[in-house]
Structure 1
């Protein structure tokens, strides 16, 4: 069972995703997490502390995702693209937390802290992709393709009819192999 702290962060993510930062109150988070307000305040003394906790969670999940990228049996690029595509995310992984942090960026919390946390996520993924792709431009290209798939995941936009991630991976492999000549 999840700890009270994790339940609070899970509830905060859900409220941010469903209602946006402006609508989230400490009372609403406590109720959604099924903890008392005192229990919430024990872990997070303010909305700013709650936001900082969510950014810490994003950095932790990003580091774990980067490790998974590096150790993927099919290689970093295949893992990155598959898990970026709609339906390909890892439950409890970075995707949901990333979306909540994007919603947090719309609110009153410091935009600088959000940008710094998102920069860590990007740097983690890029470093992991560079382990397979020595050329930084090709690694960046693979990251940008994954980011496009990720945007579809976050917005609920389906892939084009008749195409799937395996088609994309096959073409990317050919392009990436051609780029190593």
Structure 2
């Protein structure tokens, strides 16, 4: 039997995180207040505080949601790989997932990055996942050093999209991605 109360709490938490994300995307990080999020979500401030006792907890929830969204894209890319079961499958999924992340998520990340350095909790959440991803990359069946180089290049492409700095035109981006994908298929 499914615990409907627990499911309802989870849905409410997700709705609150999505509302907070909309506040940040639409009005900026400086507009992120508990009152603004409660209003955006259509709940009382007390209802918000029940799920998130303070602003830091809410920001942590936003980061967790971004990571879960990325994990979902990553899993989809892994499941749809053109060479399933071969070395480098997870690395190929990582490359493609970093490029498929939504524009809205990228905008949210860009805005949240301005407060991440002042929020050790946020950085810790991200570090835990980064370590997990690094472990999966290094054990994907290709040379671990090559896997890390590919991760760093993919992350660089991703950060250029997040901050709209040093972005590549479509033909060059396609060439870079194809080169990275090819690197996952050779073990030289």
Q: 1:58 to 1:89 in 2, by over 3 A?
A: closer
Of 97, 101, 114, the residue aligned with 1:89 is 101
Residue 26 of structure 1: how far off its partner (Å):
0.6
1:7 to 3, 15, 19: 15
Q: Which runs of 5+ in 1 are unaligned?
A: none
- What residue number does 2:36 align with? 28
- How far residue 129 of structure 1 moved from its aligned partner, in angstroms, is 2.3
Q: Shift of residue 46 of structure 1?
A: 1.9
Cα distance in 1, alignment partners of residues 128 and 108 from structure 2:
14
Figure out how many residues of one structure are paired with residues of the other and give that number.
Answer: 173
Aligned partner of 2:173 among 149, 156, 164: 164
Following superposition, the deviation at residue 90 of structure 1 comes to 5.7
Partner Cα distance (1:79, 1:60) in 2: 15
Contact 1:66 1:125 in 2 (8 A): no
SS in 2 for 1:162: helix
Deviation at 1:69, TM superposition (A): 5.5
CA shift in 2, pair 1:174/1:49, >3 Å: closer
Larger RCO (CA within 8 A; separation ≥ 6): 1
After TM superposition, list the pairs within 5 Å mapping 1:1-181 onto structure 2.
3-58=11-66, 60-61=68-69, 63-64=71-72, 67-68=75-76, 70-74=78-82, 75-85=89-99, 88-89=100-101, 98-99=109-110, 101-105=112-116, 111-156=119-164, 158-160=167-169, 162-165=171-174, 167-175=175-183, 180-181=187-188
Q: What RMSD, in angstroms, separates the aligned Cα atoms of the two structures?
A: 3.3
Distance 1:176 1:63 in 2: 20
Show structure 2 runs of 5+ residues with no match. Answer: 1-7, 83-88
For residues 161 and 57 of structure 1, the distance between their equivalents in structure 2, rounded to whole angstroms, comes to 29
TM-score by length of 1: 0.73
Moved more, 134-143 or 45-54: 45-54
